[in-house]
Structure 1
């Protein structure tokens, strides 16, 4: 019996030991599996984050918008000092106003001289001098005004008509050239104002050098910049006004040539009708 109990006790002990070892192995395996899973999850998370960072679009810095012409002009006007730039700007405004007024007036003064001479010839033939005078008075332009003055002197002879045309032609030419002298003045004045700003800016630069006792680019840059900007502004204004001035002068010359040519044709018409009336 004792041997039987001993054998049973030994079997129980072995069974309990094997069970404990198996349980411990299972727990260890479970912990290892859990750790491996956690590691896999961490690695997967890291890879996902890396992938998202790689796939994330790179946001480029927005480039600065380019400045408009108006903004650039405004900036340079302020940098050039309004005390020196304002007189130059005033020359440009006044010069352009006078030039535009002259251009409009000169274009309105243009007349179809050949058509007007033909109308005067027909009116003299059909209704005499008074009818021709009515035609010229109803027509605008310096050529028609000269014809009117000539017809008013018709009773005094052809020679008096020619003198009247020449004298009144000079008056009309003076009217056409009215205002051009002011444009010429602003053309000369704008660069001089710019040069004055240049001289004042250079004086300021040398004053800064004298006060500091040293030549430094930062000291003289401001004065030199003002000097250059005022000079450029004055030259630009002079160039713009010179273009308008040359156009106006060319237009006046063209109108004067038309007046001279039309006057010759007008006198020929009067002579023709005078000869016809005498005969």
Structure 2
């Protein structure tokens, strides 16, 4: 029930932010029109003063296009926004489903080890969802091979689970790394 509520709250916050953005659009459009007019007048004055064409940097051109806000450029921005929101929502849902009460799991595994042995503890781990239970299971599965084998299995499977948790977010770190180079 908590998860459904949290998903509804996130959806409501995104809807309200969208409504706020739409309400502010008219104000921003008039401000943008004034800025564009001023930029065009400045550009005309500079063009008259200098007959030479000067090269414009990528960030300056990008900022100019963003201020102009043509449908082609803003469509790309909208597509990136939708893609980013979809991946963020998917990650929120996946991470919420991957949560486990680790103290309760550890206690259940310990109780199962004391009462029924390793097979009972494995069964507890199989019936519990989440990456922590899977890592516990890998360690319990290799306990017959020795402590070092169990430790290696836990470390290796922990890396696999981290890869699953970080899936689809590598592009975010790419944009974070590129932002300073683009002048943002």
Shared fold by TM > 0.5? Answer: yes
1:103 corresponds to 2:95? no
1:141 to 124, 130, 152: 130
TM-score, normalisation: structure 2? 0.60
Distance 1:153 1:111, change over 3 A: same
1:81 corresponds to 2:70? yes
Displacement of 1:129 in angstroms is: 0.9
Distance 1:137 1:126, change over 3 A: same
Structure 1, gaps ≥5 residues long:
1-67, 196-230, 236-279
Q: Whole-Å Cα distance in 2 between the matches of residues 188 and 161 of structure 1? A: 37
Q: Which has the larger radius of gyration?
A: 1
SS at match of 1:178: coil
Displacement of 1:107 in angstroms is: 2.2
Q: Whole-Å Cα distance in 1 between the matches of residues 99 and 83 of structure 2? A: 25
- What pairs with 1:121-136 in structure 2 (closer than 5 Å)? 121-136=110-125
Q: Whole-Å Cα distance in 2 between the matches of residues 167 and 147 of structure 1? A: 12
Distance 1:149 1:118, change over 3 A: same
Displacement of 1:190 in angstroms is: 8.5
1:70 is matched with which residue?
22
2:143 is matched with which residue?
154
TM-score, normalisation: structure 1? 0.41
1:164 is matched with which residue?
153
Aligned length in residues: 128
Q: Whole-Å Cα distance in 1 between the matches of residues 75 and 67 of structure 2? A: 10
